[in-house]
Amino acid sequence: MKNFFALLFITVLFSSCDDGDLTQVSFDFDTSDAQACATGTSDFFIYKIQDQRALIIQLPEKSFENKITADQPSAPLTLAISSAEVRLLYREYSGDVTSNTMCSTVPVSSPIVTQEREATDGTITITTTALKSAADANGATQITGYLHTLTFKNLVFELGDEGTQINEAFTQVTYQTDAEAFTPFSGLTGLKSCANDTSFLFKYLDKQALILDLNDADASFLFSGAAGPKVRLISADNKLTRVIFNATSSSLTDAYFCTIPTPTTPAIEELFTAENGIADQSGIIEVTSLPSTNGFKHTIVLKNIRLAKGSLKVDMGAEYIFGEFETMN
C-alpha cells in the first residue's frame, strides 16, 4: 500500500518515540462523507480529516459493494480489525491536513505526522443504503449512489505508558460510492428482434439493455395492423427488464440476446424488473401502428413503469418512448 506506507515512513522518520501530550484518541470529526485514495487498486483506503487530524481506515475496496444491506440474505458485513487487511489509525500532524497529504504518490514534506495511534482490536460493521434522485418533470427517478455507513465497536488502542483506551462505540463514518446511471438510449428509436419475432424486442447501448418479452397472443394483438392505441399491461407473461452488464460496449451484440440458452458472458451486474401493471394506472404498454412502405410501423410507449431490484424502486416516468418496430406484410 504505497501511499499508506509512505505516510508510515514519514512517521518513523520525523516523529519522536515519546508519546508527548497525546494520551487519548479523539474521534471528533465533521459529518461529511469519508474520501478515498487509490481506488481500483490494492492500495485502497478511506479517510476523514479535520484540521490537523486524520482517521485512516484500510480495508478491501470490495467491502463497498453497491448492494443494499436490506436485500442481502446475511447480516450486515462485519470486519475484524487486524494487522493485515483491516486497519484503523488515528494521526495528528504538524499542520492542517488536505487530500493531497493523504493521497500524494510522492510523500509530501509538510505537514508531517507527529503522533499516531492504531487500533489493535474491535470490529467495523458496514450497512449500505441507496440514494435516489427527486422525480424529474416526467416523473422519472434514478439511483444516484450508495451510502455505506461504518459502525465501530469495542475499539482498543494501546497508549503506551498511559495504558489502554477502549471505545465501545463512537461516531459513525459514511462513505459514498456512485451508482451506474441508467442509459437514456437517446436517439435509439429502432428496436431489435430475433428473426423478426415481435414477442421479444430489445435495445442496448454500452453496458445496458432494455428488453420487452411478451407472450405470443399479446404480441400479435399489439403489433397487428389496427391503428390503436392498443394496450396491454406488464405482467408475469409480459415482462420488461433493464439490465446493466459487467461488460464493455464491444461485448454486447445482437447474438447475445438471440442465443438460447442465454450466454454467461458478459455477466449481468444489475437486473431491474418492471412491476406488474394496474389497469389505467401503471405498468402500461401502449402501441400505435401506422402503415409503412412495406407493412406497419409500430411505436411503443411505456407508461408509469416502476422498475424494482429487491427493495429498490425507480420510476421510468409518465411516458417513456421504448422505440419503433416495423413489421412486414
Q: How confident is the model at residue 28 (pLDDT cuts 50, 70, 90)?
A: confident
Structural domain including 298 reads 192-328
Q: In the predicted model, is pLDDT for residue 22 greater than 90?
A: no
**Residue with the larger pLDDT of the pair 122 and 23:** 122
Residues 225 and 314 in one domain: yes
Q: In the predicted model, is pLDDT for residue 185 greater than 70?
A: yes
**Residue with the larger pLDDT of the pair 328 and 150:** 150
- DSSP assignment letter at 185: -
Residues 104 and 196 in one domain: no
Give the chain's domain count: 2
Residue 186 lies in a domain: no
Q: Which of 149, 178, 207 is at the close of a domain?
A: 178
Residues 168 and 215 in one domain: no
Peptide bond into 291 cis (omega under 30): no
Rounded distance, CA 273 to CA 240, Å?
6
Is there a contact between 198 and 219 (Cβ–Cβ < 8 Å)?
A: yes
Give kind and range of the element (H or E) at residue 103.
helix 99-103
Which residues share a beta bridge with 204?
209
Residues 47 and 148 in one domain: yes
Which residues share a beta bridge with 321?
301
Residues 43 and 153 in one domain: yes
Q: In the predicted model, is pLDDT for residue 226 greater than 70?
A: yes
Rounded distance, CA 120 to CA 105, Å?
27
Is there a contact between 90 and 11 (Cβ–Cβ < 8 Å)?
A: no
Residue 288 lies in a domain: yes
Q: Which three cell numbers stand for residue 27?
A: 474521534
What are the residue ranges of helices labelled H in the chain? Answer: 2-14, 99-103, 216-222, 254-258
**Entry field: residues in the chain:** 329
The pLDDT tens digits for 124-173 are: 999 999 999 999 999 999 999 999 999 999 999 877 777 778 776 677 89
Residue 183 lies in a domain: no
Check residue 29 and give its pLDDT. 86
Q: Which residue has the cell 409518465?
A: 318
Residues 250 and 139 in one domain: no
Residues 278 and 164 in one domain: no
Rounded distance, CA 86 to CA 90, Å?
14
Nearest alpha carbon to residue 174 among 124, 133, 134: 124
Check residue 73 and give its pLDDT. 87
Residues 89 and 144 in one domain: yes
The pLDDT tens digits for 34-70 are: 999 999 999 999 999 999 999 999 999 999 999 999 9
Sign of the dihedral defined by the CA atoms of residues 11, 15, 18, 21, in that order: negative
Give kind and range of the element (H or E) at residue 321.
strand 319-328
Residues 53 and 174 in one domain: yes
Residue 256 lies in a domain: yes
Q: Which of 125, 150, 178 is at the close of a domain?
A: 178
Q: For the chain, how are helix, strand and coil distributed in percent, rounded to 5?
A: 15, 45, 40
The pLDDT tens digits for 257-311 are: 999 999 999 999 999 999 999 999 999 999 999 999 889 999 999 999 999 999 9
The pLDDT tens digits for 236-261 are: 999 999 999 987 777 899 999 999 99
Nearest alpha carbon to residue 88 among 124, 114, 52: 124
Give kind and range of the element (H or E) at residue 13.
helix 2-14
Q: Which of 120, 154, 178 is at the close of a domain?
A: 178
Check residue 216 and give its pLDDT. 97
Q: How confident is the model at residue 23 (pLDDT cuts 50, 70, 90)?
A: low
Peptide bond into 261 cis (omega under 30): yes
Check residue 16 and give its pLDDT. 33
* Half-sphere exposure (Cβ direction) of 238: Cα atoms closer than 13 Å: 21
Sheet holding 284-291, edge to edge: 230-233, 284-291, 295-303, 319-328
Q: Beta-carbon neighbour count of residue 35 at 10 Å?
A: 15
Check residue 107 and give its pLDDT. 75
Residue 323 lies in a domain: yes
Residues 116 and 250 in one domain: no
Is there a contact between 149 and 127 (Cβ–Cβ < 8 Å)?
A: yes
Residue 185 lies in a domain: no
Check residue 207 and give its pLDDT. 92
The pLDDT tens digits for 54-110 are: 999 999 999 999 999 999 888 899 999 987 899 999 999 999 999 999 998 887 889
Residue 187 lies in a domain: no
Residues 108 and 158 in one domain: yes
Nearest alpha carbon to residue 142 among 322, 328, 280, 317: 317
What are the residue ranges of helices labelled H in 207-290? Answer: 216-222, 254-258
Q: Which three cell numbers stand for residue 32?
A: 461529511
Residue 267 lies in a domain: yes
Q: In the predicted model, is pLDDT for residue 325 greater than 50?
A: yes
Residues 252 and 228 in one domain: yes
Q: What are phi and psi of 255, to 5 degrees?
A: -60, -35
